[in-house]
Every structure is written in structure tokens, then in C-alpha cells.
Structure 1
Amino acid sequence: MSALQRGIKRLAQERLLLSFALLALVLAVADPRPFADYHRWLQLPTLGGLLGLLICIQGIRDSGLVQHAAAVLVERAHSLRGLALLLVSTTALLSMVLTNDVSLFLIVPLTLAIGRISNLPVMRTVVLEALAVNAGSTLSPIGNPQNLLLWQFGQLSFLQFSQAMLPAFVIMFVLVALLALAWMPRGRVELHADQVDGHAVSTSQAVLSVGALISMVLMMEHGHAVLGAVLLLVPFALLERSTLARVDWLLLVTFAAIFLGLGHFAELGMVRHALDGLNLDNPLTLYASGIVASQLISNVPATVLLLGHAPDAAALAVAVNVGGFGLAMGSMANLIALRLAKQPHGGRLFHQVSIPFLLVCAPLVYLAYRWLG
């Protein structure tokens, strides 16, 4: 099979990419817009940040650092439930300070490495980690893009925003922890010694990749994600060209298609008209609208869509963060977790857990926010 045939076969398997590329193309033909609109929908800073993270994490993987950390962690773990709770708690904590996607880019590869050398149920753990980043990032104004947007729009202090989100976070995280305890199997962690990677860590590549990750996070924090990604390409192209070849470029193209398709859809006249008919002054209506919109178009576009109509930025933040559960489309973090995991039937397992989780979580969070918020 030629390289072109392999490429076409792989592209044919990218159903999410093909679906949203088709949506973007149909909308472009049916409802032509100025180039500036497409540029805005493409969200280049987000794509630049994603590219930079993909390069850094692939470099860390190639250095052997993740495999080494996995072996050390497994050797010190006592039970599967304890190990899962450690990974889930770490994921939630990191998502508060490094954002939900950065947290997943760090923890999911570590989880996969642990799964290769132990009896840890990988896909169960990844599903829990996806739920954990949605929970953990809820508390922090910088935990995810929708919080950052609503924090700035609502003109709240860092502490005021976190206090408003605290009841929702507590409910979410407690539910994730309880699910981890109930769902993970009993028993001790078993180390598969024959699967442990005995190769030494490439110190130079590890230093380059970790340094690149730190610089990329700082560039993203200061609004220079695209520049940061471009600057990363230079040292990796010169020193670690094979790492660039192994980057998941199709994931980047998939997100570009999602941004174009959903961005255009959210600004269709009929969608705007439907929003005008909603009474978002009613707290329950606002809450339900944020969750439903997130399920349909993901929580970041849903935030943009409802922002101008919602009277309470904090209440909208609660709604769209809860909307990150349920369907994988609810949050881009879910899609990243599933893509990084690349496990058979991963999407099916995710939805078997995440949809019931949303149905339990949503009413509890609403009651907690209304009574304690």
C-alpha cells in the first residue's frame, strides 16, 4: 500500500474531522461570510496553543520521561483505587492552574504508560480524568477558556469568581471521586516487569521538551500562543525532527474544522432568533440553556453564543461547566482525552458513564448553586 493510500485510509477513519469539515463547507456555500468572520471563528490562539502542546508532549514521550515516571509511580502504588484517585486528583488540581487541556496532555500519556506496565484499567481511568478536568477547571477563572472569558466579562475578582463556583466544584469533584471508588476494581497494582521500558531517559530531549512546555504555557498565559508555537518549531525542526513527524497533526485539523463549523452555526440567523425568544433572566432557563447549548456545540462556543443574552456571568459559567459533562462534544477536553487515549470503543465507554453523570450532577449542582452561591 502506497503512502497516499495509507493517508486516504487514515483520513477516512477521521469521522469527526470529516463531519465538521462538511458542516463548515455546507454553511460556507449556503451562508457566505466575509473572510474576517472565518478568521475569528478559527480561533488561531487556541489552535496555536494546541499545536505547541502537541509538540511538547510528543517530545516528552519520545524522551522516555513519561515511561520512567510511570514505572516509579506504579512501584510505589498500593491499590488500583488509590492509584486512580491519585491520578484523578492530580488531574483536577493541575486543571485549576494549567487549564484543562494542558492537564490532560500531561496526565493521559502518563496513564497510558502506567497501563502498559500494570493492570490499571486504562480507559476507565482516562474517562475519570476527563470528568476530573471538567470538575477541577470549574473552580478557577483560568481553568478553561469559558471561565476566562466569563471572568473578564463579569468583572469579578479572582476570589469572587472562585467563591461563586465553589459549590458547583465541590459537587462535581465529590461525584467524580465517588465514581472512581465505585468503578475501579478492588485489588493491588500488579507490575508487569517484562513490559517496563528499561531504556535510559534522553536527558537532552527531556530538558528541551519540558523547557518548551513551560515556555509554551507562559506564552499562552500572556496571549502569545501562536508566536510560542512558531518559536517551538525551530528547535524541534533542527534537533528533533522525528518528534514533529509523530505529532498528531490530524487532531489540529479536526479542531480547526470544529471551530469553523460551530462558529458559523452559532451565528446563523435562525439560531440568533431562537436565543432572542429565551427568557434567560430566569435562573433555571439560563442553566438549562447553557447545558443544552454545550451538548450541541461545546461549552466554549455556547458561552460565546449566550454571553450577550445572559444577565449573570457566574450563573452562565456554572451552566456551561456542567455542560462539559454528557456528550463528548460538551467540552473540547473530552475530545482531547479520547484522542490521546486511542482506546477501542473509548467513545462508547465515555458516553456510558458521562451521560448518566450529567443527569445526576446537573440537578445537584443547580440546587447547591441556588442555595449556597
Structure 2
Amino acid sequence: MFSIIPIQIIVLFAVFILVSIRQIGNLRLQIWQLMLFGSLVVLITGQISPNDALTSINFDVILFLFGVFVISKALEESGILQYFSSKIFHKAKSTDMLILLVLFVAGGASAILMNDTLAIIGTPIMLMLASQYKISPKLLLLALAFAITIGSVASPIGNPQNLLIALNMHEPFIPFIKFLLIPTIINLFVAYLLLKIFYKNEFMKLSRNLQEISESKTKPDFKLSLITKISFVLFVSLLFLKILLTVLNINILNFDLRLSYIAIISAVPLILFSSRRSEIIRNIDWHTLIFFVAMFVLMQSVWDTNFFQNLIEEGNLDISSIPVLLTISVVLSQFIQMFHLLLYIFRF
């Protein structure tokens, strides 16, 4: 079928294999390092030009992630997240109530702050709760994983895949909420039932001893928390404004209030007025940003080979058919990150 496999395809599969292994000898590899390595290989070997590499990067995605990461890091560093999570989860008097709170609070939060962010922030909170409630950390970590994976589905900004779809839609919020909110809520309850079945012994434990557990004594950094609250309220308000303009079909001066603009504008108060701006920016998840930049470059070089396009054409697959699209997505997403797959689907 193909006499010579393009270098880009070899690099792509090498990256995927290394991602699944994550280790060469005693060397432990991170996903972002592998993706960066792959993009550098295709760039250095001339499989993609520097100009094409630059234009392949979707800066709307990168800017949105940067803005959200800044706000999320500020929420974490200011102590706001820890304070409110303690207030919320302290109300749980049983394992059932705790798991439901984790599923719906984390699920709802991931629809706004993006699931990658919630995974990083939520993990230490789950470990703390596991210690306090004397239940399995696996149960709470799985609840968090279910929550942020399922909860992020209902929002166009809940995860990178949804964001990529949203950026290719004129007005994404209404369709997402209309078609995905109810299934998301149902699946969160299904996740609760599955956890209850597989961890039934944890649910059979006695309710916590209220005398042994007290709310978090963590005090927020009030100066940082004030600016963070301004940024967060601005972020939510601009999102609400975008939804409202969509519902009312209002177009102000033909200005497109893009999601990337919303994230960056909302992060501006923290970047300009916080005395801890350097610390916040330095400690955001740069590895994820590097991963996405590198991924755009590598996947563009792969796309330019027409390798997968020819496979689909020779297989007489109708990529616009919903059954075919669902099958390809489900099967290939087991091997290729869904974000990578979407980059291809949108080009057909």
C-alpha cells in the first residue's frame, strides 16, 4: 500500500509507543518531553518548515489555556480553593454524601476551570479527605477522575477536546448545554453507582467522627484572594455575557468575544496588579502548554503526508457518517489522544 512509510508517521508512532512505556532504562519520560522530542525531530529533519510549524499552532487554544492556568493557579495559591473545598466537603456526614459531593462539585468546577486543572488541584484534596474519612484513597481519586472527565463534557471549555470543537463553532455554549447537560448529570449518578458497587465495603463504613475532623484552618492570602476573586468573577461574567449575546442574537460591532480573549482578559488583573504575579506565572502548568504547542507541530507534519487520508480513502470510509465517526473515535481514541484525533477529523 505504501512503499515507504513517511518519517513523520514513524516519529508519531514512536512517540505513542514511548508514551505508553514512559521509561527507557532508568530514564523516566514525561509526555510533554516525548511530544516535544517528536516535534523537534520533524522540524530538524525538514519534514515541516519553521513557518508551517508556527502557523500550525492554534494560539486560541494556547492563550485560553494560559489564561485559565493563571486563574487556577491563583485560586490555589491564594488558598481560596482549599478554603471552599473544606467548607463544602466538611458537610458530608457519610461516604455516600462525600462521593456525591466530589462527583458533582468537581464535575461542575471542571466545566469552568477545565478538567486538567481540576485533576492537579483536586488530587491533594482527595488524599486529605481520604485520610480524614479513613476510606480508600483509590475511591476518592477514582471519584475525582470520573467527576472531571464526565463533568467537563457538558461545557465547551471543560476539556481541550471540547475547546477545539468550540473554537470551530460559531456559538458553542447553547448546543453543548442543550445536548450534553442531562447526559452528563445521568452519567455522574451512574459513576456514583459503579463506585458504590466496586467499593461497597468503603460505603459500609460508619459515618465519620465529627469530633475528629475539623474544617481546614488554612487562611487565604487576602491580598491575592481579592485580585483572584476579581479575575474569577470577570471570567465567569464574560462567559455568561457570551452565552447571553448568543441567546439574544446580539452582535456588538461585529466583535467576536472569543474564548481566548475571555481567558486572557480575566487573567490581566492578576498579571498586572498581583505582587505574586511572577510566582503564579512561573508555577502554572507550562508542561501542558509545551505539550500542546509541540503536538500541533507534529500533527501538522503528519497531516501533510496524507498517510491517514489515503487510508480512509482506500477504506471507502465516509468520515461524515455518524456511525463511522463514532466507531473511528471510540477505537482510535484508545490509542491516540482524542485531541489528536479531533485535529484530523476537523480537516476532512
Write 1 or 2 for the structure with the bigger share of helix.
Answer: 1
**Partner deviation per Cα, 1:105-126 (whole Å, 9 max, x = no partner):** 6655643553464435445433
130-139 or 226-235: bigger deviation: 226-235
Matched, 1:208 2:227: yes
Q: What's the CA shift for 1:88?
A: 0.7
- Measured in 2, the distance between the counterparts of 1:132 and 1:270 equals 37
| Partner residue, 1:233 | 271
| Partner residue, 2:61 | 46
**Partner deviation per Cα, 1:276-299 (whole Å, 9 max, x = no partner):** 332335543221111233334322
Residues 1:109 and 1:26: Cα distance change in structure 2 (over 3 Å):
same
List runs of 5+ in structure 2 lacking aligned partners.
Answer: 1-26, 240-256
Count of aligned positions: 297
- Measured in 2, the distance between the counterparts of 1:242 and 1:167 equals 39
Q: What's the CA shift for 1:16?
A: 1.2
TM-score (structure 1 length as normaliser): 0.63
Residues 1:49 and 1:213: Cα distance change in structure 2 (over 3 Å):
farther
The one-letter code matched in structure 2 to 1:200 is K
RMSD between aligned alpha carbons? 3.8
State whether residues 43 and 50 of structure 2, in contact with CA within 8 Å, keep that contact through their aligned partners in structure 1. Answer: no
| Partner residue, 2:102 | 87
Map of 1:4-83 to 2, 5 A cutoff? 13-83=28-98
SS of 2:68's equivalent in the other structure is helix
State whether residues 53 and 105 of structure 1, in contact with CA within 8 Å, keep that contact through their aligned partners in structure 2. Answer: no
176-185 or 144-153: bigger deviation: 144-153
SS of 2:334's equivalent in the other structure is helix
List runs of 5+ in structure 1 lacking aligned partners.
Answer: 1-11, 310-373
State whether residues 108 and 151 of structure 2, in contact with CA within 8 Å, keep that contact through their aligned partners in structure 1. Answer: yes
Higher relative contact order (CA closer than 8 Å, sequence separation 6+): 2
Q: Which of 266, 269, 283 matches 2:306?
A: 269
The one-letter code matched in structure 2 to 1:136 is G
Residues 1:70 and 1:118: Cα distance change in structure 2 (over 3 Å):
farther
Residues 1:215 and 1:116: Cα distance change in structure 2 (over 3 Å):
farther
30-39 or 98-107: bigger deviation: 98-107
**Partner deviation per Cα, 1:222-265 (whole Å, 9 max, x = no partner):** 431456556643333x3454444544433433343344334433
Instruction: Please say which structure displays the higher CA radius of gyration.
Output: 2
Residues 1:57 and 1:227: Cα distance change in structure 2 (over 3 Å):
closer
State whether residues 27 and 264 of structure 1, in contact with CA within 8 Å, keep that contact through their aligned partners in structure 2. Answer: yes
Map of 1:278-357 to 2, 5 A cutoff? 278-280=317-319, 282-309=321-348
SS of 1:297's equivalent in the other structure is coil
SS of 1:223's equivalent in the other structure is helix
- Measured in 1, the distance between the counterparts of 2:147 and 2:218 equals 32
